[in-house]
Amino acid sequence: MESITSRLINWASILDDKTREQALTTSRLPFIYPHLALMPDAHLGKGATVGSVIPTLGAIIPAAVGVDIGCGMIAVRTQYTLKDLPRDRKPLRENIERAVPLSAGHNNRKVTATAEPRVAELHRRAEKAGFNPAQYVAKWDLQLGSLGSGNHFIEVCTDETDAVWLFLHSGSRGIGNKIAQHHIRVAQGVARDKRISLEDPDLAYLEEGTPEFSRYIKELRWAQHFALLNREEMMDRVIRQFGDWVGGTVKETERINCHHNFTQQETHYGKSVWVSRKGAIRAEAGDPGLIPGSMGTASYVVVGLGNTASLNSSPHGAGREYSRNAARKTFSLAQLKEAMHGIEFRATEAFIDEIPAAYKPIDQVMHDAADLVKVRHRLRQLVNVKGD
């Protein structure tokens, strides 16, 4: 841990100058309390740094929550072990790709039977919150159970005991993005109207007690729940495909579902604050958590240690070292195939920007996080599914 200033605490041993400056800018906002915490996977983001924990008194920065509201991980440990699996893993990958809509903008053709009760629950929550999600995305219900693209993925993994885990990463899809973008613009409008001077316009904030703040919180919480149910729906579909592939019923021995782009009220250093974790998971003592590496590297099942200085938080993944454009210019499909040797995946140039070399080494990130979480399991990938 490094105290960069009294208002910025850092756990990242790999931290470029632009990311450091961005975090310093955020930490200077007058309502940050007690300090901003940079996680080991910290890297440059929109407005606020990805991999940062931002506690605020009486205000929230919508861009500091992020545009993929509620993005996170879900993992299920099955009763199967590596020796139980068929050798040919390609059919499983292809069946998962058919069962779960992939890529940005790809939705379900209809609300499936398993999604119906989840969609109904979201309708009830939206009605209670007093807003209509269709004002943002007309057919938002068709997005439930879809993966997206970028660093979102579905994987089949094994741990150090050869137990098989099903693992995926996704969030609130287009509906969450539209909600986030709307409230970022609202916050920027408030800043202009009140002539609030900001070092970065994406640090525009909403003040507690205002109608703008109340509406954001209601819609934010709805989107966070959409993200959680989206992961549950996809996991149920993956379980069915996996069970068909192995020829048996899947018995869940454990299920973990956690956000890493979200905000909630918590008490820290004697005060009630809004804690926005942008690319970070809550890691109170005993909290189960999931920290994925990049495609082709290890992922971790962890338990929180309740580190006070980190505001009970931990990293959410490896963290980028190369931007997507830089990665596409630097690496090749041949290098991606080499990095993914032995893992069943769809080999395409669309995934070059997700090559492991574009990210920080996950083992270094976990080393930096040693006082934030305890590792329970280290997962290695067998099958990887992504949207291009």
Report the 3 state secondary structure along 216-272.
Answer: HHHHHHHHHHHHHHHHHHHHHHHHHHHHHHHCCCCCCCEEEEEECEEEEEEEECCEE
Report pLDDT digits (tens) over 240-298: 999 999 999 999 999 999 999 999 999 999 999 999 999 999 999 999 999 999 999 99
Q: Which residue from 294, 264, 300 is spatially nearest to 386, judged by alpha carbons?
A: 294
User: For position 298, what pLDDT does the model report?
Assistant: 94
Q: Does the annotation mark 169 as catalytic? A: no
Q: Does residue 111 carry a pLDDT above 90?
A: yes
**Diameter of the chain measured on Cα atoms:** 64
Tell me what the mean pLDDT of segment 51-61 comes to.
97
User: For position 47, what pLDDT does the model report?
Assistant: 83
Q: Does residue 12 carry a pLDDT above 90?
A: yes
- Assess contact for 330 and 322: CB atoms under 8 A: yes
Q: Which residue has the higher pLDDT, 105 or 65?
A: 65
Lowest-confidence region among 89-93, 104-108, 133-137, 187-191? 104-108
**2-385 belongs to which CATH class?**
alpha beta
- The structural domains of the chain, with segments of one domain joined by +, span 2-385
Token representation of residue 384: 């990887």
Confidence of residue 35 (pLDDT cuts 50, 70, 90): very high
Q: Does residue 209 carry a pLDDT above 90?
A: yes
User: For position 46, what pLDDT does the model report?
Assistant: 87
Determine which one of 316, 341, 367, 377 is catalytic: 316
Three-class SS state of 131: coil
Tell me what the mean pLDDT of segment 178-205 comes to.
96
Confidence of residue 366 (pLDDT cuts 50, 70, 90): very high
Q: Does residue 238 carry a pLDDT above 90?
A: yes
- The C-alpha atoms of residue 298 and residue 49 are separated, in whole angstroms, by 24
Q: Does residue 24 carry a pLDDT above 90?
A: yes
User: For position 104, what pLDDT does the model report?
Assistant: 84
If one counts every other C-beta atom within 10 angstroms of the C-beta of residue 88, the result is 9
High-pLDDT (> 90) share of the chain, %: 97
Token representation of residue 58: 């009486």
Q: Does residue 60 carry a pLDDT above 90?
A: yes
Q: List all residues 6 or more positions away from 88 whose beta carbon is below 8 Å from its beta carbon.
A: none
- The C-alpha atoms of residue 84 and residue 92 are separated, in whole angstroms, by 14
